[in-house]
Amino acid sequence: SQTIHQWPATLVQPVGSPLSLECTVEGTSNPNLYWYRQAAGRGLQLLFYSVGIGQISSEVPQNLSASRPQDRQFILSSKKLLLSDSGFYLCAWSGRTVHEQFFGPGTRLTVL
């Protein structure tokens, strides 16, 4: 069966520090991968999605970036965090023929 992992689960970082959140998927190949951000009590904002290694599409211009160095690995990064980057970050995957999205457990990021 497929599983999706995210780490860390919780992160507290100072303004201006770098960020690296990692997501990996097991049990499937060539998935579509997604990064979302969710503000407290709000909906999901799509940040990035990827249909293959090295292929990244950005939905929202910001100081975040994403990379996909391996088929089942998706990384969200920032060189300098802003206060507004605080939120709950969710990684998700979907298959080519299975149309549901499956979500990881999320990372709660607090920027101080």
Partner 1 sequence: AQTVTQSQPEMSVQEAETVTLSCTYDTSESNYYLFWYKQPPSRQMILVIRQEAYKQQNATENRFSVNFQKAAKSFSLKISDSQLGDTAMYFCAFMNPSTSGTYKYIFGTGTRLKVLA
Return the range that interacts with partner 1 (CB under 8 A); candidates 21-29, 61-69, 78-86, 104-112. Answer: 104-112
The residue within the footprint of partner 1, chosen from 18, 82, 96, 112 (CB under 8 A), is 96
For position 56 contacting partner 1 by CB under 8 A, the verdict is no
The residue within the footprint of partner 1, chosen from 11, 22, 32, 73 (CB under 8 A), is 32
Using CB atoms within 10 A of its CB, is residue 89 exposed (0-12), middle (13-18) or buried (19+)? buried
In whole angstroms, the minimum distance from the beta carbon of 82 to partner 1 comes to 22
Give me the sign of the Cα torsion angle 4, 94, 87, 66. positive
**Distance, CA of 68 to CA of 54 (rounded, Å):** 5
86: left (phi over 0), alpha (psi -120 to 50) or beta: beta
List of residues contacting partner 1 (CB under 8 A): 32, 34, 38, 41-44, 46, 49, 51, 57, 88, 90, 92, 94, 96, 99-103, 105-106, 108
